[in-house]
Chains A and B, each alone.
Chain A
Amino acid sequence: MSVEGRFAGRFGGFAVDAAFALAPKGITALSGPSGSGKTTLLRCIAGLARVSGELYVGGEVWQDGRTFLAPHRRPVGVVFQEASLLGHLSVRGNLDYGARRVKGAPEIGFDDAVDLLGLAPLLGRGVANLSGGERQRVALGRALLSQPRLLLMDEPLSSLDAGAKAEILPYLERLHRSLAIPALYISHDAGEIARLADKVIYMREGRIVPGEAEPTLEGVDAATRDRLALAALRAGLSV
């Protein structure tokens, strides 16, 4: 399913002018320095922030010159940086909140999501005394159960310590393998991106910029490659 769009406008003193397309299936990582507008772009896609622009998802218009779909009418699942669980509901209540509001038969079943994310032991608990990793798993399950056609994740691991990150990454990899919809995953952690992303786009100062791909030796002729290797060797020896 195609997801493409362009947003151009100002938020206070910050200018955005970003044209983008996501991988039709699987995870597109959005990377870039902090303050480059990654979260703003995600909020525009979810409809939580509004600037002029266009957004087309699977042939449907979510935003153009005349249309602006309200956030609750967009089938997106959003995982925020902080899990943002609803404190007055249990884990099950949080998972059900979006699920109950979806019309028609669900594509992602309750038990499937619970199995995928290992939520079964948490279901009856309140959300106040979950660990950071558990909270993000519930937030992810909650987003999936709202039957999104597009999944948006805003640095879901950045507020976690190394242990919790290591605990949740395998779940994200499993999700990645079974995910039939496009997803946008904001991160500036090269390791996470390498493990999860099918495509990477970069943002700088409110714009999508060409990739900061690792330099490779592809297309370099043999003589140059030898000289580079020798130079690297000498540099290594002299320090």
Chain B
Amino acid sequence: MGEVVWTTLRLAGLTTALLLIAATPIAWWLANRRAWWKEIVAAVTTLPIILPPSVLGFYLLVAIAPQSPLMTPLHAFGVRTLAFTFQGLVIGSMVYSLPFAVQPIRAAFEAMGPRPMEVAATLRASPLDAFVTVALPLARRGFLTAAILVFAHTVGEFGVVLMIGGSIPGKTEVISVRIYQLVESLQYGEAHRLAAGVVAFSFAALLALLLVDRRTDEAVR
């Protein structure tokens, strides 16, 4: 049981860290473009919220299968497929939770407005310097919200991990899938313990989120 919890936390932690890095440029781009067609990109990054996990899992499985053109370049490195591997699970989880990272970070950048970056520019900060020393700290609440949401969402994911992970103990077996299998084999006692743990964790995550939102924002002006 310790193993399955560890796999789950490792997956959620890694997904959160990598996704925050990947989502930041997307969110910045979406917050600063005026063209209407940027919303096409926004819609694509939001799609995982409304797609059934089975649909998403199916396409992800196709994408990381040995025959996939996305995998061909990796064959040279001895990697044939990412299906049923922990790495594949991380990639799948990142796609699945992408909207939960992009939305709060984009909203935080938009709430900031263009002025702080202009101020930084008139104070000799290059665009990259200003991004790191002004935009990131001013949007910190958006990042915190995104981190909590992505971590919790990854812990709670079921359909996608089942389809692309294959539930291999010690590698790709996570709590939500284990609970499903425990119930199927009528081991209610252990199912109870794991399920209660997930409920307690989810409650704590939500409470943390609400407390973050509640903290009055220091004025940007």
- Our verdict on whether A and B bind, yes or no, reads yes
B interface size (C-beta, 8 A): 23
Q: Looking at the assembled complex, report how far the CB atom of A77 sits from the nearest CB atom of chain B, in whole angstroms.
A: 7
CB within 8 Å for A72 and B221 given contacts A80-B119, A84-B115, A86-B119: no
Please choose the segment from A28-36, A95-103, A199-207 that sits at the chain B interface, where 4 or more of its residues have CB less than 8 A away.
Answer: A95-103
Does B191 reach chain A (CB closer than 8 Å)? no
Q: Report the Cα distance A75→B121, complex, angstroms.
A: 10
CB within 8 Å for A71 and B122 given contacts A84-B221, A88-B137, A88-B138: yes
Q: Report the Cα distance A126→B137, complex, angstroms.
A: 15
CB within 8 Å for A71 and B115 given contacts A83-B221, A87-B220, A128-B218: no
- Tally of contacts, chain A with chain B, CB under 8 A: 78
Q: Looking at the assembled complex, report how far the CB atom of B195 sits from the nearest CB atom of chain A, in whole angstroms.
A: 41
Does B190 reach chain A (CB closer than 8 Å)? no
CB within 8 Å for A48 and B121 given contacts A84-B116, A86-B116, A88-B138: yes
Cβ of B115 and Cβ of A126 under 8 Å apart?
no
Cβ of B220 and Cβ of A146 under 8 Å apart?
no
CB-contact partner of B121 in A71, A77, A83, A135, under 8 A: A71
Q: How large is the interface on A (under 10, 10 to 19, 20 to 34, 35 or more residues)?
A: 20 to 34
CB-contact partner of A128 in B115, B127, B129, B219, under 8 A: B219
Does B125 reach chain A (CB closer than 8 Å)? yes
Cβ of A101 and Cβ of B221 under 8 Å apart?
no
Q: Report the Cα distance A74→B115, complex, angstroms.
A: 17
Majority SS at the chain A contact face: loop
Residues 64-97 of A, flagged 1 when their CB comes within 8 A of B and 0 if not, give 0000001111111110101111111000000001
Residues 184-221 of B, flagged 1 when their CB comes within 8 A of A and 0 if not, give 00000000000000000000000000000000001111
Q: Looking at the assembled complex, report how far the CB atom of A168 sits from the nearest CB atom of chain B, in whole angstroms.
A: 17
Residues 106-130 of B, flagged 1 when their CB comes within 8 A of A and 0 if not, give 0000000001101111111111011
Cβ of A87 and Cβ of B219 under 8 Å apart?
yes
Does A142 reach chain B (CB closer than 8 Å)? yes
Majority SS at the chain B contact face: helix
Cβ of B138 and Cβ of A146 under 8 Å apart?
no
Q: Report the Cα distance A127→B124, complex, angstroms.
A: 21
Does A22 reach chain B (CB closer than 8 Å)? no
CB-contact partner of A71 in B118, B129, B138, B218, under 8 A: B118
Q: Looking at the assembled complex, report how far the CB atom of B220 sits from the nearest CB atom of chain A, in whole angstroms.
A: 5
Q: Looking at the assembled complex, report how far the CB atom of A149 sits from the nearest CB atom of chain B, in whole angstroms.
A: 12
CB-contact partner of A72 in B124, B137, B218, B220, under 8 A: B124
CB-contact partner of A126 in B123, B138, B140, B218, under 8 A: B218
Q: Looking at the assembled complex, report how far the CB atom of A217 sits from the nearest CB atom of chain B, in whole angstroms.
A: 44
Q: Report the Cα distance A134→B138, complex, angstroms.
A: 22
Q: Report the Cα distance A127→B159, complex, angstroms.
A: 48
Most buried by A among B115, B122, B127: B122
B118 / chain A contacts, CB cutoff of 8 Å: 48, 71, 78, 84
Q: Looking at the assembled complex, report how far the CB atom of B117 sits from the nearest CB atom of chain A, in whole angstroms.
A: 10
Q: Report the Cα distance A72→B124, complex, angstroms.
A: 4
Does B134 reach chain A (CB closer than 8 Å)? yes
Cβ of A101 and Cβ of B124 under 8 Å apart?
yes
CB-contact partner of B134 in A83, A86, A128, under 8 A: A86
B127 / chain A contacts, CB cutoff of 8 Å: 72
CB within 8 Å for A72 and B116 given contacts A48-B121, A85-B221: no
Q: A88-B218, A97-B123 are in contact. List 18 more A-B contacts (CB 8 A).
A: A48-B121, A71-B121, A72-B121, A80-B115, A80-B119, A84-B118, A85-B221, A86-B120, A86-B134, A87-B116, A87-B218, A88-B140, A97-B125, A101-B129, A127-B218, A127-B219, A143-B122, A146-B123
Q: Please name the 10 residue pairs, one residue from A and one from B, whose CB atoms are nearest each other, closest first.
A: A98-B123, A101-B124, A71-B121, A78-B122, A88-B137, A87-B220, A72-B121, A87-B218, A128-B218, A146-B123
What are 26 A-B contacts with C-beta separation under 8 Å?
A48-B121, A72-B122, A72-B125, A72-B127, A72-B129, A72-B130, A75-B124, A78-B119, A78-B122, A80-B115, A82-B115, A83-B221, A84-B115, A84-B221, A86-B134, A86-B138, A87-B116, A87-B220, A98-B123, A126-B218, A128-B218, A128-B219, A135-B221, A142-B123, A143-B122, A146-B124
